[in-house]
Amino acid sequence: MTLRTLTSDVVVKFEKAVGIDFVTTNKVIRYSYLSKGIMGLDAILPDAVVRPKEVSEVQEVLQIADEHHIPVSPASGGLSGGFALPQTEPAGILLDLSRMDRVLEVDIDNRYVIVEPGVQTGKVWAYFRKNYPDWAPPVPDGAPPSATILGDAIERGFSLVTGAFGPQADLIMGLEVVLPNGDLFRTGSWALSEKGNGFKPFYRWGPGPNFDGLFLGSQGTMGVITKAAIRIIPHPHAKTIVAYGHSSFEAIQDATLNILKYEMGIADNLVMVQGGNWPLIMTRWPELKVPKDYDFYKKLNISEWWQNFEIWAHSDEELEFVKKRVAEEMEHYGDKTGNPPVEWKLHPKQIASRMKKPNLIAVPYALYRGGFLFITWYTPWNDSAEMSRYYSNKMVEYGFPPVIWVASIDHGRQAIVMPIVCFDSTDPTRVEQVRALDQVTSEYCYEHGWLNYRPNPRIHSPLMWDRAPTYFKYLKAMKQILDPKGILHPGRLGF
């Protein structure tokens, strides 16, 4: 089906749907949305920005776009950069959902919160601190307060409790989705509330096969999510962080895995297990203002590789027990290998800074050279050291600092490995070198069966679909059923 260029008469229809003040074709404003980097280097300027407030407005906008074959790229907060924006010509509209920013319901018995797509993490965190201090929404970790909780959840992102509870998408209890033809449906037990009877999203799987997997990770290509019910988690107030370092990430990987296998009473308290290498610290400041040799950081007692364990507990006694068991397992690993990880004694200010939520951990990497790109992968935990070592060497080979961040998912069942490429985004040569690095490393990663978190449609998707042709065949069939004219974020999944 051929997509069409946006015309003035269709713009008028969008204005009638959401209000004239919430549709713009102004070039300056459209350029303000054009972010490259963070998660993707490529984006196309939208022809218009449309900002609905109500679900009914989303329905009407999609019906208009579907009727006129106008592409639609949905965005909840816009902080993903790059690939969250239009990917093909004609660009069509950017559907900015940031005005849909209400916390609609909190149920502490069934333990979920219902949010609209524009609810920012800073807002929902403050809301819980004021009204439900013993519970926490699973806000994305490392993202600034302006990131959205739903954007992270539906993209299978990384929350502040992913170490114990799995990727953010595992916490989804129900979705409300608008399809291009205007149909609205809900997933899980929430589906039974279609006739207005108020049934709750208490059970994810609902009647028959569940649909939510078609939308989690789909990047807005299958439907526009207008509400999500997401699990909330207990928020005890006995907390701390302990850290261990080593010259070898293989040692950190193996010693940590021994701890994470204690799922009853130890690893369940380790809500966040994350670390990396010493350049992860170096690149948080402008390049010209920091030493670039490891000897400087070694004098500060920073190990070449290190791991933080963020512990939540219901009492000081429980907290001390978990700390003690982590220390014992590290010591036990040292007894077996003769080369134990060494505890990194953190300053109270370091602990307090890391414990603050939402935090700004990801933001400073823009300071080093002016731009940064996350190339993020899921691997088995016991492959994380190999990937980290490989990426470190390749980043040096291509002239980038070897910045690696690694974290546990669900008690070390998986790892998320994130090379952070710090580069001068104003230098076209360096941008092309980032692409070249991404290409060669992605070939290696897919050869090992590792999965990219948010695939680049120009590099990752061709490699991925080449290895999963039957999956690809039926994914396209599902897309054809839900979006027969192909208006939703065309090109984002590589087709």
Q: What is the CATH number of the domain that holds 26?
A: 3.30.43.10
Residue 444 CA to residue 383 CA, distance in Å, equals: 13
Say what the pTM is. 0.94
User: Three-class SS string for 152-196?
Assistant: HHHCCCCECCHHHHCCHHHHEEEEEEECCCCCEEECHHHHHHCCC
**pLDDT band at residue 284, thresholds of 50, 70 and 90?**
confident
In this structure, the answer to whether residues 315 and 425 fall within a common structural domain is yes
In this structure, the answer to whether residues 37 and 60 fall within a common structural domain is yes
Chain-centroid distance, C-alpha 430: 25
In this structure, the answer to whether residues 115 and 256 fall within a common structural domain is no
3-state secondary structure of 252: helix
In this structure, the answer to whether residues 39 and 112 fall within a common structural domain is no
**pLDDT digit string (tens) for 83-105?**
677 888 899 999 999 999 999 99
- Among 234, 263, 285, residue at a domain's last position: 234
3-state secondary structure of 231: strand
Give the CATH number of the domain where residue 389 resides. Answer: 3.40.462.10
Residue 79 CA to residue 409 CA, distance in Å, equals: 23
Buried b (16+ CB within 10 A) or exposed e, 159-174: bbbbbbbbbbbbbbbb
Does the N-terminal peptide bond of residue 90 adopt cis geometry, omega within 30 degrees of 0?
A: yes
Give yes or no for residue 33 having a pLDDT over 90: no
In this structure, the answer to whether residues 323 and 462 fall within a common structural domain is no
Domain span at residue 492 reads 1-98+455-495
Residue with token string 């036990």? 332
Report whether 283 contacts 365 (CB < 8 A). Answer: yes
Give the CATH number of the domain where residue 182 resides. Answer: 3.30.465.10
- Among 210, 234, 258, residue at a domain's last position: 234
In this structure, the answer to whether residues 153 and 49 fall within a common structural domain is no
Does the N-terminal peptide bond of residue 358 adopt cis geometry, omega within 30 degrees of 0?
A: yes
**pLDDT digit string (tens) for 127-169?**
999 999 999 998 988 777 888 888 888 887 888 999 999 988 9
**Based on the structure, what is the number of domains in the chain?**
3
Residue 174 CA to residue 231 CA, distance in Å, equals: 10
**pLDDT digit string (tens) for 413-463?**
999 999 999 999 889 999 999 999 999 999 999 999 999 998 989 999 999
In this structure, the answer to whether residues 417 and 270 fall within a common structural domain is yes
In this structure, the answer to whether residues 212 and 253 fall within a common structural domain is no
